[in-house]
Amino acid sequence: MARIVAGVASSHVPAIGAAIDNKQTEEPYWKRVFSGFEKSKEWMKETKPDVAIIVYNDHASAFSVEIVPTFALGCAAEFPPADEGWGPRPVPTVVGHPELASHIAQSVILDEFDLTICNKMEVDHGLTVPMNLLFGSPKEWPCPVIPLAVNVVLYPPPTGHRCYMLGKAIRKAVESYPKDLKVVIFGTGGMSHQISGPRAGLINSKFDKAFLDNLTKDPKKLTRIPHLEFMREAGAEGIEMVMWLIMRGALDDKVDEVYRFYTVPASNTAVGHIILANRKRAAGKRPASKIRRAAARSKADIRRG
């Protein structure tokens, strides 16, 4: 059986990608940011996932205002880096996992989450920057990736609660996949930032840190934050944080916080990062009746969502 072992959340600031591509990572301004991910890269090397599901948003690269899917799942065999205006980033093509992705699409859609299926899609900094932060800059990415693009660009984005429940449905899908795969799920974007208008440059560290605390301890509280509160407290682009709730929904209720990093600023954005791990269960220790009851509860939860 495939299983999700951990969740990673990370900002996906485009300037971080530019700093990597232009070899500025050792400059003092950027070293402060990159040094916060050194332990995470070590953790990822040790964890060695077989597949990563990466929740991110497209920034008018694969989609435009003509087509705005709320949730778009990448089922292709590969996802080339998109040209975001100055040529594609010099990163390897992202290799997909069409078999697991199709399985997730089937399971999640039959659980009444209407995903858009993308059999061809380019991916932008929203996906590739967190990959660099967690995997470094290898010649080939170390594992296949299933991209899940979420609309947080054009109103109305999905609610935090909907995202959280989709995470639960994704977990159920992964756990019903018969092959033994170790999966890590990413939530990306945020934290507080606003890139235009009179409040451009807004950072709210208090809000961000409380969000990180509750992501570990009380994620259901976060699912009740309305869009307007995200925008008021965390800036217009702070709404990206709903994507972190898909990652969190895919994990156990109680998780271990493995690592956390927060710094301000990178470009005009607060950078937040957290690694949460499901607690290890001793194989065969749970009575079958308990497993059946838990599965029934999770099914009922998903239906309610």
Rounded-to-integer distance, Cα 104 and Cα 62, Å: 21
Q: Is the separation of the CB atoms in 257 and 276 below 8 Å?
A: yes
Rounded-to-integer distance, Cα 56 and Cα 123, Å: 9
Of 5 and 153, the one with the shorter C-beta distance to Fe ion is 153
The residue to which tokens 């990448």 are assigned = 74
Q: Is the separation of the CB atoms in 158 and 55 below 8 Å?
A: no
DSSP state of 224: T
Q: What are phi and psi of 201, to 5 degrees?
A: 90, 0
Of 7 and 189, the one with the shorter C-beta distance to Fe ion is 189
User: What is the smallest separation between the CB atom of 163 and Fe ion, expressed in angstroms?
Assistant: 15
User: What is the smallest separation between the CB atom of 190 and Fe ion, expressed in angstroms?
Assistant: 8
Rounded-to-integer distance, Cα 9 and Cα 260, Å: 9
The residue to which tokens 């220790």 are assigned = 285
User: What is the smallest separation between the CB atom of 192 and Fe ion, expressed in angstroms?
Assistant: 12
Instruction: Output the CA torsion 187→41→11→31 (10° steps).
Output: 180
Helix (H) / strand (E) containing 186: strand 182-188
Nearest partner of 302 among 51, 13, 108, 35, judged by Cα: 108
- Binders of Fe ion in range 159-218 (CB under 5 A): 189
Whether 193 sits among the annotated catalytic residues: the reply is yes
User: What is the smallest separation between the CB atom of 267 and Fe ion, expressed in angstroms?
Assistant: 11
User: What is the smallest separation between the CB atom of 103 and Fe ion, expressed in angstroms?
Assistant: 28
Which entry of 12, 97, 103, 193 is annotated as an active-site residue? 193
Of 177 and 207, the one with the shorter C-beta distance to Fe ion is 207
Whether 125 sits among the annotated catalytic residues: the reply is yes
Of 100 and 127, the one with the shorter C-beta distance to Fe ion is 127
Q: How many residues make contact with Fe ion (CB under 5 A)?
A: 1
Nearest partner of 207 among 234, 186, 185, judged by Cα: 234
The residue to which tokens 């709404």 are assigned = 239
User: What is the smallest separation between the CB atom of 126 and Fe ion, expressed in angstroms?
Assistant: 5
Q: Is the CA virtual torsion 235, 239, 240, 244 positive or negative?
A: positive
Which entry of 12, 97, 103, 125 is annotated as an active-site residue? 125
Of 167 and 190, the one with the shorter C-beta distance to Fe ion is 190
Of 43 and 207, the one with the shorter C-beta distance to Fe ion is 207
Amino acid 40 reads: S
Write out the catalytic residue numbers.
125, 193
Where does this chain bind Fe ion (CB under 5 A)?
A: 189
